[in-house]
Structure 1
Amino acid sequence: MVEEFESALAAGQGVEHAVAVSSGTAAVHLALHALDVGPGDEVIVPAHTFIGSASPVTYLGARPVFADVTPDTHCLDPDSVKSLLTGRTKAIVAVHINGCAADMKALSAVGAAAGVPVIEDMAQALGTGIGGRPVGGFGDLACVSLFEQKVITSGGEGGAVLTNNPAYAERVRRLRSHGEGPIEGRPGLIWAHEVGYNYRLTSVQAAVGLAQHARLGAMVEARRRNAARLSERLVGVDGLELPVEPEGTVHAFWKYVVRVVPAAGRPPAAEIAATLRSRGVPVLLRYPFPLHKQPAFAEHQGVSLPVAERLSQELLALPSHPGLAKGHLDHVADEVRRAVSA
């Protein structure tokens, strides 16, 4: 069942190999390990993302280097990445945040010029596309999350590593299962070629994932339809920037995120969120603490990443999941309009 799910996932993302694992964070860990990231190495990661994009760097004894993001897509800024490259840079992690495609053409060019591989973190981006192709095949490896809140799930937790490189796929497959694999010349026997992990996906989880994967297109379309409805109702609201869909891309809208533009007399985003929650609309700031400002990465506190820092206090994630009907969405939009204009 696991292999059947892997085949479906690989075919759906247009890549040669998919290796199912126990979580999206495990996928990032294994992708980095497959690239031999280790002590003394640096890995460039956006500051505006979930900690699971960065924490696996430290598991391997390497150092995350936090980069800024673009003000419109909130994805990794290629210029910021370029400015941070050193002889110690071992990988670049490009996150397709909220389902919005990162600029893979520019990021891949930056990586290629420096000889640094690019990992796509598409934990939030099943259903996202660039130039008619699904994300996942633009980098050297890609990481999927199947957590219960993601676009599709494998029943609570789960993930996968995608790649077109057979050597990477083989190593990830071995590492997810204690580093064990066949012994050449000794059929039927296995041993541990290296120390690995218990990062396997179970057959039961794979069965759930397979059933969910069959509905991926419909669920993404529902998210896009709900996002369009919110945009239709919120367009023109003074002080509110709506999410963008870069030309030539498809946004999966795992999250529908708006920016509250600061202005005299306008409540800040945190206050608007609190007002909306008091009225029964579950709205939160989107990543209110950039990774480099969190205690886990205290050594980076002095780093200045102005866009990520500004966005942390200005972005709101609005309810938009596929289970919401038009009436729910209209209520959300009406309450947001009312709170922003207060």
Structure 2
Amino acid sequence: MSSFQELPRWPQLTDDDIEAAVAALRTNRLVGQGNSIVEEFEAALAAGQGVEHAAAVSTGTAAVHLALHALDVGPGDEVIVPTHTFIGSASPVTYLGARPVFADVTPDTHCLDPDSVKSLLTSRTKAVVAVHINGVAADMAALTAVAAEAGVPVVEDAAQALGTEIAGRPIGGFGDLACVSLFEQKVITSAGEGGAVLTDNPVYAERLRRARSHGEGPVEGSPGMIWAHEVGYNYRLTAVQAAVGLAQHKRLGEMVEARRRNAARLSQRLAGVEGLELPVEPEGTKHAFWKYVVRVVPGAGRRSAGDIAADLRSRGVPVLLRYPFPLHKQPAFAEHQGVSLPVAERLSQELLALPSHPGLTEGHLDHIADEVRKAVTATE
């Protein structure tokens, strides 16, 4: 096996997914408030994550945007976000005229550090975004305690974490709102793009559903009439996307278990490799392993993570550095570049994401592990 093309890609849509999309097309009811297929998908998502409400939207970034909108984040406000994450966790803060405040992460889980959050809270803090990175659970007990002491709501960014659990409960109900991504490479997809906001709060739910469709809702006393109660957005999910998402959601459990089996096999094959730290699963949690992320420990005579990644890619293993540029060091957030967040900055040069999705066989995984072992143990 010597080329990238020989490794299966993700996602892998089934005949059930395709048939669901075709059936949705045949309804000739493709979008709009009250679409029955979208509502069925929302109900499945809410039930699966153990919350009362799910509002399906067009992307995971739109989900974060609407969650912050529902919390009335606006100009002059601050929102604490981890710097070690995808930009979609932070960019919606700026859409609303607020300021992202970047926090550090923990060295073991790479999730938001509660102590860093505590040090950054001010009278202007309007929300905290806690990202369950790579499928590992953030420390929601500590994070919600820190936020509650300051009277600040918490938004769970669960874009990478469908299937993740804390104490036997699915993530999504630990914060005030939670955001899901259904992008094509995520645990499940809704035909390429999609997302949802989850909440137990009916007031938030009503506002989310209104804001995703131009802020429109019924005119009291005028049946069948609608008008814009506020300036909203066009963030609706289509029936076709919802149909594919629903078909995939029925297989969520088996896909997560496949990821966990694959992660276990990689860990078994990579155990004992000097200079390599394997992913952790915090006690009492269930890791969904959207990404299998290892740390290359620096040391005399050892190769850097960047060199290892380049070597592996040249030999057909599509390994990438995991978030090599913390958000506070990127040009889009130039005003933050003087901030020091040492853990995230160190991890940006040490983390590698290995292929581990359900489309890989044991043979693929063994090949990946063998190549990683050789690349890590090779000397400079």
What TM-score, normalized to structure 1? 1.00
Q: 1:21 aligns with which of 57, 65, 68?
A: 57
Determine the structure 2 residue equivalent to 1:207: 243
Determine the structure 1 residue equivalent to 2:129: 93
Determine the structure 2 residue equivalent to 1:61: 97
Q: 1:110 aligns with which of 127, 135, 146?
A: 146
Which residue identity lines up with residue 178 of structure 1 in the other structure? H
- Do residues 7 (structure 1) and 43 (structure 2) align? yes
CA distances 1:58-80 after superposition (whole Å, capped 9, x unpaired): 00000000000000000000000
Determine the structure 2 residue equivalent to 1:291: 327
Q: 2:180 aligns with which of 144, 149, 159?
A: 144
- Do residues 135 (structure 1) and 168 (structure 2) align? no
What are structure 2's unaligned runs of at least 5 residues? Answer: 1-36
Q: 1:335 aligns with which of 356, 371, 375?
A: 371
Deviating beyond 6 angstroms after TM superposition, the runs of 4 or more aligned structure 1 residues are: none
Whole-Å Cα distance in 2 between the matches of residues 27 and 163 of structure 1? Answer: 12
Whole-Å Cα distance in 2 between the matches of residues 32 and 114 of structure 1? Answer: 17
Q: 2:195 aligns with which of 152, 155, 159?
A: 159
- Do residues 263 (structure 1) and 299 (structure 2) align? yes
Determine the structure 1 residue equivalent to 2:84: 48
Three-state SS of the structure 2 residue aligned to 1:142 is: strand
Three-state SS of the structure 2 residue aligned to 1:217 is: helix
Three-state SS of the structure 2 residue aligned to 1:219 is: helix
Three-state SS of the structure 1 residue aligned to 2:294 is: strand
Which residue identity lines up with residue 308 of structure 1 in the other structure? A
Which residue identity lines up with residue 324 of structure 1 in the other structure? L
CA distances 1:231-269 after superposition (whole Å, capped 9, x unpaired): 000011000000000000000000000000000100000
Whole-Å Cα distance in 2 between the matches of residues 318 and 104 of structure 1? Answer: 26
Q: Spell out the pairing of 1:66-77 with structure 2 (5 A cutoff).
A: 66-77=102-113
Q: Spell out the pairing of 1:29-44 with structure 2 (5 A cutoff).
A: 29-44=65-80
Which residue identity lines up with residue 274 of structure 2 in the other structure? D
Whole-Å Cα distance in 2 between the matches of residues 287 and 151 of structure 1? Answer: 19
Three-state SS of the structure 2 residue aligned to 1:187 is: strand
Determine the structure 2 residue equivalent to 1:187: 223
Whole-Å Cα distance in 2 between the matches of residues 154 and 276 of structure 1? Answer: 31
C-alpha deviation, 1:184, in angstroms: 1.5
C-alpha deviation, 1:213, in angstroms: 0.2
Whole-Å Cα distance in 2 between the matches of residues 2 and 10 of structure 1? Answer: 12
What are structure 1's unaligned runs of at least 5 residues? Answer: none
Which residue identity lines up with residue 168 of structure 1 in the other structure? Y
Q: 1:314 aligns with which of 321, 345, 350?
A: 350
Determine the structure 1 residue equivalent to 2:204: 168
Determine the structure 2 residue equivalent to 1:243: 279
- Do residues 323 (structure 1) and 328 (structure 2) align? no
C-alpha deviation, 1:183, in angstroms: 1.2
Three-state SS of the structure 2 residue aligned to 1:274 is: helix
Which residue identity lines up with residue 210 of structure 2 in the other structure? R
CA distances 1:244-303 after superposition (whole Å, capped 9, x unpaired): 000000000000000000001000000000010111111010000000000000000000
Three-state SS of the structure 2 residue aligned to 1:320 is: coil
Determine the structure 2 residue equivalent to 1:120: 156
Determine the structure 1 residue equivalent to 2:32: none
Determine the structure 1 residue equivalent to 2:24: none
C-alpha deviation, 1:125, in angstroms: 0.2
C-alpha deviation, 1:84, in angstroms: 0.1
C-alpha deviation, 1:186, in angstroms: 1.5
Whole-Å Cα distance in 1 between the matches of residues 80 and 220 of structure 2? Answer: 37
Determine the structure 2 residue equivalent to 1:177: 213
Identity of aligned residues (%): 87
Q: 2:232 aligns with which of 185, 196, 199?
A: 196
Which residue identity lines up with residue 162 of structure 1 in the other structure? L
C-alpha deviation, 1:201, in angstroms: 0.1
Whole-Å Cα distance in 1 between the matches of residues 221 and 134 of structure 2? Answer: 47
Determine the structure 1 residue equivalent to 2:316: 280
C-alpha deviation, 1:185, in angstroms: 1.7
Whole-Å Cα distance in 2 between the matches of residues 277 and 160 of structure 1? Answer: 34
C-alpha deviation, 1:195, in angstroms: 0.5
Whole-Å Cα distance in 2 between the matches of residues 15 and 284 of structure 1? Answer: 34
